[in-house]
Structure 1
């Protein structure tokens, strides 16, 4: 695999999607800071993450 991008960010919000998954969100003010990156990703329940936790996002090309 080839790493395309890796960045760290704070979880802003955890949304309850359904009985099986949640959605982690971080939506930085990209209009004011064009270099800022954000994410919105569904993950299985049981992750124990909450708003304010820091996570690392890695994108790899298979």
Structure 2
């Protein structure tokens, strides 16, 4: 199944509510068609902090 994967650093972790946080990485070169970034909500207790390197993989199921 088609999938895409890339690695990036967590830029910051935002407190959304008492149940979830938002991990963000926004590349400052948004005009670069090769720049990839993410913004994803996760349940509290994930353990990620700003500066952590992560791999984001998206696949069709």
With the length of structure 1 as denominator, give the TM-score of the two structures. 0.90
Q: Is 2:4 aligned against 1:5? A: yes
Farther-moved stretch of structure 1 (2-11 vs 52-61): 2-11
Which ranges in structure 2 are unaligned for 5 or more consecutive residues? none
State the 4+ residue runs in structure 1 displaced beyond 2 angstroms.
Answer: none
With the length of structure 2 as denominator, give the TM-score of the two structures. 0.91
Q: Deviations over 1:9-60 (max 9, x none)?
A: 00001000000000000000222x3211000000000011110000000000
Quick one: distance in 2 between partners of 1:50 and 1:34? Answer: 27
* Count of equivalent residues: 60
Instruction: State the Cα RMSD in Å.
Output: 0.9
